[in-house]
Chains A and B, each alone.
Chain A
Amino acid sequence: MNPLTQFPSIQLPALGVPPIFAPLFSHKVPAGFPSPADDYVEGRLSLDQHLVPHKDSTFFVRAKGSSMIDAGIFDGDLLVVDKSIEPVSGHIVIAVIDSELTVKRLHRQGDQVTLKPENPRFKDIILKEGQELQVWGVVTSTVKKFI
């Protein structure tokens, strides 16, 4: 491959003449005072990296209803769910209850496991003895768009 085509190019105007490519270097030739910021150039901040450190085990789900509004989760919010995280008491989790996916806060005291909504108008879901809790994933963040 022509090495020049790897650079963004400016095309010079030409009439019936084969076009000439001139490479536009992203790095200027230091002919004067060197940029003091040059050594500090780092990659742009990436929301993906920030919100999704484990991309293979992360899924997005949409919240519906108001059972978690005191935790800051509102109807229509986007939840980032990481399945690779081991759920512990205090995590907000997606759990399987009656074959439905539901978002609640996980509470464990001794052997007693409870799924707590964060809205006083909703009742706790208390797991009975022998009933196994199926955690689908742990909610790591929400994404809220205003526009």
Chain B
Amino acid sequence: MPIALVDCNNFYVSCERAFNPKLEGKPVVVLSNNDGCAVARSNEVKALGIKMGEPWFKMEKFAKQHGIIALSSNYALYGDMSARVMSILSNFSPRQEMYSIDECFLDLAGFPEESLIAYGLTIRQTIKRHTGLPVCVGIASTKTLAKLANHCAKKGLAGEEGVCDFGRLSDDELGTVFSSLPVNEVWGVGRRITEKLQSMGIHTVQALRTSSPELIRQRFSIVLERTVLELNGVSCIELDQVGVPQQQILVSRSFGQTVTALDDLMESISFFTTRAAEKLRRDGSVAGNVCVYVRTNPFKESDPQYDRSIVVPIIATDDTSKLTHAAMTGLKAIYRIGYQYKKSGVMLMALEPKGQQQGSLFDDVAEDGRADQRMKVMDAINQRMGKGSITLASSGIKQRWAMRRENKSPNYTTEWGELPVVM
């Protein structure tokens, strides 16, 4: 059963380049929230030796010397481009799993195996032409192998023009490729597992593939045993189809500057709850628990540290004002004066589909109906007029905690006022 993994190349950088041709061929990094560290690198930047996650303050001088262009992350743009890619990909298979913002598995069962490479090329060219984004396609009989095939396509190790189909390689050829790949390239093999495997003499993908699955299960876990089976073409990991509702919704952010006042924290928590509630309603769910947390900056060791969270149970709802009220109650309970707060967050938990939960004897049905209407109007206005057009007053207007994004590109695809300009 062939599976394809379609993965955008240097996704965030490619999104920026799609609207700004000046960035083509230049070294470009995209920085995380608050311009903290590198979260996306162009090939030119990778060649300069800058690592994923490298803090910006450490590379700033080096970046200036080499003309590296650093951009703040623009998630409105990346989100829109991702949705376009996923929507186009849905035309290529009846079953797809959106694995991350820039990766998607496609089930290619039933497609003629000899023409899969051509099909991969068509996918690649279509995405490139319709969105401007480069993608690579890895094709294999299991998800773990498809991930590896995609890696090979990106590195040009096997296959050509960004498409690699392991099904076209003989067992010997596969052995040669796998012997050249370090074991940490395998999906799910993180740093700790890599170290332990290496201590057992397992350094390459080939070595892991030819290990005894039973031994791996005894020394590690059933999860890694499955990985070994998957490397041998035995499918153990199902495609997770779209439409599975989320288990929890988390909205959290580091602040642009530390805050001390309860008022500022209340603003941030109200803002995050509003965002989370929007996602909740979009999924058609209600939440039965609201978790709030705050923390200081753990990297500033000289400061007194504080890190607390609290879960507030409520009658399951998707009403922003009720969720915010619960979140505020929680925040007031855990807030302590005298700390420099750096981050806060809201997590909606105990999610269930709306309309399935048991009502309470004291439910005010009429008020619930009015709240529904209110939320519908709020979502509609914010969708039409732009995010945050209507918010609860408690989200605040000062937003002292707002993010630092000094070098963000325009929202080219989501704001009328920020469209690309042509002469």
Contacts of B421 in A (CB 8 A): 61-64, 101
Decide: B130 and A84 in contact? CB cutoff 8 A: yes
Check if A109 is an interface residue, CB within 8 A of chain B. Answer: no
Decide: A59 and B21 in contact? CB cutoff 8 A: no
- CB B79 to nearest CB in A, in angstroms, measures 14
In chain B, positions 79-112 with a C-beta closer than 8 Å to chain A are 84, 87-88
Per-residue CB contact flags for chain A residues 72-84 toward chain B (1 = under 8 Å, else 0) read 0000001100011
Contacts of A112 in B (CB 8 A): none
> Considering the chains assembled together, what is the distance between the CA atoms of A63 and B423 in angstroms?
6
Select the stretch in A25-33, A35-43, A45-53, A92-100 that faces chain B.
Answer: A92-100
The answer to whether residues A84 and B423 also contact, given A18-B365, A56-B84, A99-B24 and a CB cut-off of 8 A, is no
Check if A34 is an interface residue, CB within 8 A of chain B. Answer: no
The answer to whether residues A62 and B422 also contact, given A1-B355, A56-B88 and a CB cut-off of 8 A, is yes
Contacts of A94 in B (CB 8 A): 422
Contacts of A18 in B (CB 8 A): 365
Q: With contacts A1-B355, A57-B88 known, what are 8 further pairs, Cβ within 8 A?
A: A61-B419, A62-B420, A84-B129, A84-B130, A96-B21, A99-B21, A99-B24, A100-B22
Decide: B130 and A103 in contact? CB cutoff 8 A: no
Contacts of B412 in A (CB 8 A): 59
Contacts of B131 in A (CB 8 A): 56-57, 83
Check if B243 is an interface residue, CB within 8 A of chain A. Answer: no
Q: Which residues of A are in contact with B by a Cβ distance under 8 Å? A: 1, 5, 9, 11, 18-19, 54-57, 59-65, 67, 78-79, 83-84, 94, 96, 99-103, 134, 136
Tell me which of B87, B419, B423 contacts A100 (CB under 8 A): B423
Decide: B84 and A57 in contact? CB cutoff 8 A: yes
Decide: A101 and B422 in contact? CB cutoff 8 A: yes
Query: Can you list 28 A-B pairs with a CB-CB distance of less than 8 A?
Result: A11-B366, A18-B365, A56-B88, A56-B130, A56-B131, A57-B84, A57-B88, A59-B412, A59-B413, A60-B419, A61-B419, A61-B420, A61-B421, A62-B420, A64-B422, A64-B423, A78-B419, A79-B422, A83-B130, A83-B132, A84-B130, A100-B22, A101-B420, A101-B421, A102-B422, A102-B423, A134-B21, A136-B21
Decide: B21 and A19 in contact? CB cutoff 8 A: no
- CB A107 to nearest CB in B, in angstroms, measures 18
Tell me which of B88, B130, B132 contacts A136 (CB under 8 A): B132
- CB B96 to nearest CB in A, in angstroms, measures 14
Q: Which residues of B are in contact with A by a Cβ distance under 8 Å? A: 21-22, 24, 84, 87-88, 129-132, 355, 365-366, 369, 412-413, 416, 419-423
Contacts of A60 in B (CB 8 A): 413, 416, 419
Contacts of B87 in A (CB 8 A): 55-56
A-B residue pair count with CB separations less than 8 angstroms: 68
- CB A71 to nearest CB in B, in angstroms, measures 13
Determine the residue in chain A with the shortest Cβ distance to B413. Answer: A59
Q: Which of B130, B366, B423 has the most CB of A within 10 A?
A: B423
Q: Which of B416, B419, B420, B422 has the most CB of A within 10 A?
A: B422
Contacts of A101 in B (CB 8 A): 21, 420-423
Contacts of A67 in B (CB 8 A): 423
> Considering the chains assembled together, what is the distance between the CA atoms of A65 and B132 in angstroms?
25
Contacts of A1 in B (CB 8 A): 355
- CB B24 to nearest CB in A, in angstroms, measures 7
- CB A79 to nearest CB in B, in angstroms, measures 7
Contacts of B130 in A (CB 8 A): 54, 56-57, 83-84
> Considering the chains assembled together, what is the distance between the CA atoms of A64 and B420 in angstroms?
10
Contacts of A84 in B (CB 8 A): 129-130
Contacts of A59 in B (CB 8 A): 412-413, 420
- CB B415 to nearest CB in A, in angstroms, measures 10
- CB B66 to nearest CB in A, in angstroms, measures 19
Determine the residue in chain B with the shortest Cβ distance to A14. Answer: B366
Decide: A5 and B423 in contact? CB cutoff 8 A: no
- CB B372 to nearest CB in A, in angstroms, measures 8
Determine the residue in chain A with the shortest Cβ distance to B126. Answer: A84
> Considering the chains assembled together, what is the distance between the CA atoms of A103 and B355 in angstroms?
51
- CB B64 to nearest CB in A, in angstroms, measures 21
- CB A5 to nearest CB in B, in angstroms, measures 7
Decide: B423 and A65 in contact? CB cutoff 8 A: yes
Contacts of B422 in A (CB 8 A): 61-64, 79, 94, 101-103
> Considering the chains assembled together, what is the distance between the CA atoms of A19 and B420 in angstroms?
52
Contacts of B129 in A (CB 8 A): 57, 83-84
